[in-house]
Structures are given as C-alpha cells and as structure tokens.
C-alpha cells in the first residue's frame, strides 16, 4: 500500500496519475499548502524539503520526496513506463529531467506572478510567460 502526501497542484497530480495508470492501491493524505500544513512537524519530519508530493511505500520501507524520484521509483517497482536499458530509457529520463527542472519551475513561477503576486510585477510575468 502506498501513501501519497498530496495537494491538488501539478506536482501532486503527476503522482496521482501515475498511481492510477499503474492500478496500484494507495491512500491519500491531503496537505493544505495554503494553511501551511507542509511546515507542521508530522509532515516536516518526513521530508527535509517540506513540499508535496511525498510517497511512502510500506513494502519497500521507502519514504520519498521529489516527483521525479517518485515517478522513477514507481516505474521501476512495477516495470512500466521506463525501459530497463538503452536509448528509450534515456529518452524517458531526458523528458523527466526537463519537466522537473525546466517546465515545472517556470510554470510555477508564472502561476505565482499571475495569481499570487499582489504587486503586479510585469517584468516577472513577461519573463516566465516567455
């Protein structure tokens, strides 16, 4: 049984989609980021980053933050979505690295400057939109 510490963000949904695609049993622990629940001791002691997603795999005794590491762990554990060797494996890892290091953070910054920045920083909006 997996336990997914989750909030309804892109990083949270990535893991939810993977668990559903694999058809494996899981339970969800909702973390309310707006209330700052990621900083509460019960959650903070599980991950130094204090961010969702976080996956607990009871069978392998693994507690894992970071969406790319979680996706790779799930793919390898269940032998799906990540070829074991060769060019196709590295193509998957290439796009996974690109998503977590380029698309994800830039989209996150854009969301912040459009929806949460009360000062209306036009330079930042243009930069992250581009």
Ligand X SMILES: N[C@@H](CCC(=O)N[C@@H](CS)C(=O)NCC(=O)O)C(=O)O
9 part of the interface to ligand X, by CB under 6 A: yes
- Per CB under 6 A, the list member of 6, 26, 38, 74 interacting with ligand X is 38
The contacts of residue 9 (CB under 8 Å, 6+ apart) are 33, 52
List 29's β-bridge partners, or say none.
Answer: 5
66 part of the interface to ligand X, by CB under 6 A: yes
75 part of the interface to ligand X, by CB under 6 A: no
33 part of the interface to ligand X, by CB under 6 A: yes
Query: CA 118, 119, 123: angle at the middle one, nearest 5?
Result: 125
Least Å from the CB of residue 86 to ligand X: 25
Tell me the window of 40-48, 66-74, 88-96, 122-130 that interacts with ligand X (CB under 6 A).
Answer: 66-74
- Per CB under 6 A, the list member of 5, 37, 53, 75 interacting with ligand X is 53
State the residues that interact with ligand X by CB under 6 A. Answer: 7, 9, 11, 33, 38, 51-53, 66-68, 100
């Amino acid at each position: 049984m997996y336990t997914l510490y989750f909030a309804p963000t892109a990083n949270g949904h990535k893991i939810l989609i993977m668990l559903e695609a694999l058809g494996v049993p899981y339970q969800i622990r909702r973390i309310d980021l707006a209330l700052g629940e990621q900083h509460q001791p019960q959650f903070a002691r599980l991950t130094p980053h204090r961010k969702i997603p976080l996956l607990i795999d009871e069978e392998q005794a693994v507690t894992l933050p970071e969406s790319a590491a979680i996706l790779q762990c799930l793919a390898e554990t269940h032998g799906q979505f990540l070829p074991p060797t060769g060019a196709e494996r590295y193509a998957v890892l290439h796009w996974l690295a690109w998503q977590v290091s380029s698309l994800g953070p830039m989209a996150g910054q854009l969301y912040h400057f459009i929806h949460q920045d009360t000062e209306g920083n036009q330079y930042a909006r243009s930069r992250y939109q581009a």
